[in-house]
Structure 1
Amino acid sequence: MSDVEKSGIVAKVIGPKKRWKAYKARVKELPENHRTAAEAIERYLMHFVPTDSDSSASMFEDLADLFEQAAADGTPIREVVGPDPAEFAEEFAHNYSEGGYVPARVRQRLTDDIERAAGEDTGNEDKTV
């Protein structure tokens, strides 16, 4: 695969590089728990590549908007994503694309990451001393 082909694929996934960098900078400024949740959803959304780079960039910018507003309002993460983070992310992604295939392990990782960000015990941590 040539560098041109690779850059086309990357642009389709993340959108224009300048917009991607701006999005990442915004997420980096979020409070830790909101940043953790936004990054977990971002990883999950990578499985839902919109059909064009503008839609992809808009999807991630809207994700940043959502978590910036939640952080500013003091909204708990669970009030943002609800009880099923995978369902939330899939519904969010459907606003931008037809969706993709998400393996069960990816769904579980998202759920675990959101539980950690929300301050909940996932039951997956080693409890030995």
Structure 2
Amino acid sequence: MAAKWIEALTGSLEQKKQYKQDMARIEALPASYRTAAKAVHRYLMYAGGVVDGDTLTTMFTDFADLWERAALDGTPVREIVGDDPVAFAENFAQAYSGKQWIDKERARLNKAIDEAEQEEPR
């Protein structure tokens, strides 16, 4: 009973556990991969815009998979992120286009314009 109450306030405990496991996988990477992955992760947290817990969990598990695989294969960091790391991060996040915080504001703007249009004299 208490777990459901806590989850209602903080979100899924299972998702938090998975996130911590994924971050531990990032921490275990060789230095150059770890540094790059943490930098991209930070950007994703600020600019990714994904707010749905299930989507975030999937995204960060896939993110850890990507960096682990690259490290195992010896893929150079620059080959992973390309010439524009920002574009890489934004494209990565876009692939997980679940519910985003901006969706609410987009809907609000569209509704306001529709209402303004209805108020126009004819």
Give distance in 2, aligned partners of 1:61 and 1:48.
Answer: 15
The 5 Å alignment of 1:96-107 reads 96-97=96-97
1:62 counterpart residue number: 62
- TM-score when scaled to structure 1? 0.64
2:97 is paired with a residue whose SS is coil
Sort the Cα spacing of 1:43 and 1:5 in 2 relative to 1 into closer, same or farther, 3 A: farther
Out of 1, 6, 10, the position equivalent to 1:7 is 10
Moved segments of 4+, more than 6 Å: 3-6, 98-101
Aligned residues: 94
Q: For 1:68, give the aligned amino acid.
A: E
Question: Does the CA contact (< 8 Å) of 2:48 and 2:93 recur in 1?
Answer: yes
How far apart are residue 4 of structure 1 and its match? Answer: 7.2
Please tell me whether Structure 1 or Structure 2 has the larger radius of gyration of its CA atoms. Answer: 2
The 5 Å alignment of 1:21-40 reads 21-40=20-39
2:83 counterpart residue number: 83
Q: For 2:77, give the aligned amino acid.
A: I
Give distance in 2, aligned partners of 1:97 and 1:51.
Answer: 10
How far apart are residue 48 of structure 1 and its match? Answer: 1.4
- TM-score when scaled to structure 2? 0.68
Sort the Cα spacing of 1:17 and 1:4 in 2 relative to 1 into closer, same or farther, 3 A: closer
> Which segments of 5 or more consecutive residues in structure 1 lack a partner in the other structure?
102-129
How far apart are residue 97 of structure 1 and its match? Answer: 2.1
* Root mean square deviation, CA, Å: 2.3
